[in-house]
Structure 1
Amino acid sequence: MMNYSNTTKWKLLTLVMVSVLVFGGLFALLSNKNKGDENHKLETKIVELETKNEKLSKNINDLNTSIQATANSPKGEELSKDITNVATKFVELYPYYDIEKVEDKKKDLLQIATKKVADSIVPDDMITSSKKTLETSSTNQKGEAYSSDPTFKSRYESSTIYTNFVNAKQVQYFAEVNYETESNSGDTKNTVFIEFEVTNNDGKVLVSDYEIKYLK
């Protein structure tokens, strides 16, 4: 009876050990399968990203080649020169002020900038008030003049211009513009920071937008 019991125990023990080995193998197999699936997904994702990266690189290279070809062509060189000239004139004209030549400044701006930009810098009421100030000896008429001092003048002195080339027809600029003023209260030197954009629309090169920046 005792021997039978021991035999049974050994059989049960053997069965347990075999079961452990079998289940352990199954778990290992499943674990390896899951890892294999994850690795496959990862490899697939990497291939997709590499493909997208190759396409992106090609698009960038094609764009750079196109831009370079346009810039190096006779028309491209002429357009680049026109854009640069407009940007330079705008920077030089912006700080200029003379009460006797306000209307002239507006006309000059309309040659190199959109009407919206020109109207923003020299609105019509500035021209009207300047004329009224010149017609009277009073220098303290409220609402009549942009400056209570009709002798006030400002003129361009120098500038540093930074260029951000967007494409063959659109260039963004940031300019540090130094200018001088003179008035009854004395002469001063000042600096203004301007961010603006020059675009080519149907062969017309103009400053299409601008913003004065105040550094804190």
Structure 2
Amino acid sequence: MTADVQLLITADGSHTAVNQTLDKTYHSIHGALQESKRVFIELGLQAAFEIFPVATLRIFEMGFGTGLNALLTAKEAVTNKRQIEYTAVEAYPMAVQDAQQLNFDTLLGTNYLANLHESPWETLVDINPYFQLTKVQGKLEDFWPEAQYHLIYFDAFAPTAQPELWEADIFRKMTQFLLPNGMLTTYCSKSYVQRNMRAAGLTVEKHPGPPHKRDIIRAIRNVAD
């Protein structure tokens, strides 16, 4: 089943989509592109490049959505000449005809978005020489990886729409997904979400967010865990 969406232009000129079933946007209306860059690339990927300077980075995304986070990561992989293996879980993917209308490639000067959305599910696909993608259609609760990750992009819909994905049990599972010193980044900084992360054994850091968002979160799995 595909998601029922309506596309919108956000304040920085990039698209987001509204999930009509949940009545929630995939990205901030104040700027989808600048939000994803800040939360997932600056706070997550760039830090992972430094912490794991030699390894092929393994990244897990909770919520493939519009493909923007994967697209930005594929672009950074080429820029930094770093190999990335990227796995994304999505229960209700966007229809290809909706994804074709997104303006991310135009804004970023890339040409990967169609391949990201049209690539087959449950199949490893080379998007560019540095970036490999595996999309898994299903729920996070039912997914277990074959190997641990250096970085998690936790981009579920807001807790008001999907409260079950922000509970302590989910973050315990995310902790098991992570390698020692591995990181999870997310836009949600609600106090109870931070408590749930700490209850799962993660060290929680608050960082300044993109415009109109005071705080965002980076959570780290301690080496001793």
The TM-score by the shorter chain falls in which range?
A: under 0.3
Q: TM-score of the superposition, structure 2-length normalised?
A: 0.25
Task: Give the structure with higher Rg (CA).
Answer: 1
Q: TM-score of the superposition, structure 1-length normalised?
A: 0.25
Give the number of the structure whose residues are more often helix, by fraction.
1
